[in-house]
A and B are shown apart, each in its own frame.
Chain A
């Protein structure tokens, strides 16, 4: 250590005025969204519930790939576990809404042993391995006749509520989950773990060489994303009331997540939210066009990959140098005192 104290000349900046404003803005937005069911009808409430689920999914995939370098095409494993876990718990006497939260946490518990196997793989092997795991979970669920086998099952326990009430409760839970998961993800990325994860994303071997516990860092992220996707799964079930193994464990979920994150901006916290809104709008406008809708999604993704590789938000961030949800550390020279 030098005799002179370096920090008398420098300070570390982690916040900015725009970031404070944006964080306050997000808090106000969440507060305003609480009143949606009382102001708008059941249809719009259901639509917004779908959007919130998409936001959660996009944020989880982005946390994995954009901040941890874990590119997965198997997160539907936990969407499915969240949905079927809810069914299972309600069949065993747990009230539906607590069951949804417990099922999401259970997805995280199951992710722990899964991670021991899966996180040994890297890159493309990890991506495909995660997909295989999702298929295995789907088969195991389909084998259980009490869960409807392959033909599907509905969340009968929610019938005790009137449709309006039910939709409002589901919406509030979705809003709560989205707010908590995004806030936890954001705060996690601001901690030392967040910096370690970014280092692992950029170069795993070099990260280990500076003393980072690579495995445990990846494991924490993987479990977090499993809980988030589990919540998205149970919320999807509550929002549609009926699920089938094939649909809820479908790899298409991964395609949607990748689409949202690429369009919004990989590795930015704001991007996935933007991407989820874009995807939601496209889905609502063009879903009736059948196969052409999927062609359109694919074409949009290609256009973004070629011409806007940083995504909508990533490009904005570059051009205007703004960070509304900053996770970085900036070294600033102190202004000379006297």
Chain B
């Protein structure tokens, strides 16, 4: 580990699919309780990095450390039980189950599990829909369920993949409120998001990707003002 406060650390990550290089020598750290924003144009490798951090993708090269232990070879279910939770860009609810059951499979049963499930549903504003089948939910509620289900696993690091995408400003604001509560409980957050002004309300640090590399990493305001970032992302439109 580089510093005593870093809890999740990816070093020298390379990812190629055949001839296509998606990530190239990426170093990425998250401190305990830190909220890190990730921006970059489509195809820059943001979701790929998140998949590698969550364990659903094994990188071609590089290592992932969590709480000082090498977790590069651990699959996503193991990593989740260690404390790394994630949401999916396109929500993936368990459609045949109710909202309550969706979070319950993540918390486990019994009194403690029930309590945590209810608490997470209340926090995400879903408790009134607890007995609704998840495949009957609209986008807003699916996004909230993604978040609720990830929180139900009691994570130390929460990986969010465009959780605000496709939402109205008011809807996104509610989500920000929930995420801030989570942040207040000292859960570290990695948040990929295109809607920068939403992101800026939460994050402590901003990382910008372009073409598989980190091109800026630091204070959110500084990174936003960086000429390379403006060129790669905010000014340009490559998608």
Contacts and interface: CB of A to CB of B under 8 A. Distances in A.
Interface stretch (A137-145, A209-217, A291-299): A209-217
A335 interface: no
Contact of B75 (A202, A203, A208, A329): A208
A7 B96 contact: no
Contacts of B105: 192, 195-196, 198-199, 207, 210, 212
Contacts of B109: 192, 195, 329
B92 A192 contact: no
Contact of B94 (A7, A9, A202, A330): A202
A328 interface: yes
Contacts of A211: 77, 80-81, 106, 153
Contact of A199 (B97, B100, B131): B97
Interface residues of B, number: 41
Interface in B59-95: 75-77, 80-81, 85-86, 88, 92-95
B56 A209 contact: yes
Contacts of A10: 114, 118
Contacts of A199: 94, 97, 102, 105
A5 B85 CA distance: 24
A206 B92 contact: yes
A166 interface: no
B152 A210 contact: yes
A1 B119 contact: yes
B194 interface: no
**Size bracket, chain A contacts:** 20 to 34
A119 to B, nearest CB: 14
B130 interface: yes
Contact of A210 (B111, B122, B153): B153
Contact of A6 (B92, B108, B115): B115
A219 interface: no
A52 to B, nearest CB: 28
A207 B94 contact: yes
Nearest to A210: B106
Q: Which of A1, A201, A206, A211 has the most CB of B within 10 A?
A: A211
B183 interface: no
A203 B94 contact: yes
B6 interface: no
B52 interface: no
A315 to B, nearest CB: 16
A201 B105 CA distance: 13
Contacts, number: 107
Contacts of B131: 330-331
A12 interface: yes
A205 B75 CA distance: 11
A203 B135 CA distance: 12
B80 A329 contact: no
A209 B85 contact: yes
Interface in B101-117: 101-102, 104-106, 108-109, 111, 114-117
A50 B222 CA distance: 76
B96 A6 contact: no
Given A6-B115, A208-B80, A331-B130, A201 B92 contact: no
Contacts of A331: 100, 117-118, 121, 127, 130-131
A96 interface: no
A196 B150 CA distance: 15
Given A7-B115, A331-B130, A206 B88 contact: yes
Contacts of B95: 202-203
B27 interface: no
Contacts of B143: none
B147 to A, nearest CB: 12
A195 B101 contact: yes
27 contacts: A2-B119, A6-B118, A7-B115, A10-B114, A12-B114, A192-B108, A195-B101, A198-B105, A202-B93, A203-B93, A205-B92, A206-B88, A206-B94, A207-B105, A209-B80, A210-B80, A210-B150, A211-B153, A212-B105, A328-B98, A328-B101, A329-B98, A329-B104, A330-B98, A330-B100, A331-B121, A331-B131
Query: What are the nearest 5 A-B pairs in CB distance?
Result: A211-B80, A6-B118, A202-B94, A210-B106, A331-B130
Interface of A: 1-2, 5-7, 9-10, 12, 192, 195-196, 198-199, 201-203, 205-214, 267, 328-331
Interface of B: 54, 56, 75-77, 80-81, 85-86, 88, 92-98, 100-102, 104-106, 108-109, 111, 114-119, 121-122, 127, 130-131, 149-150, 152-153
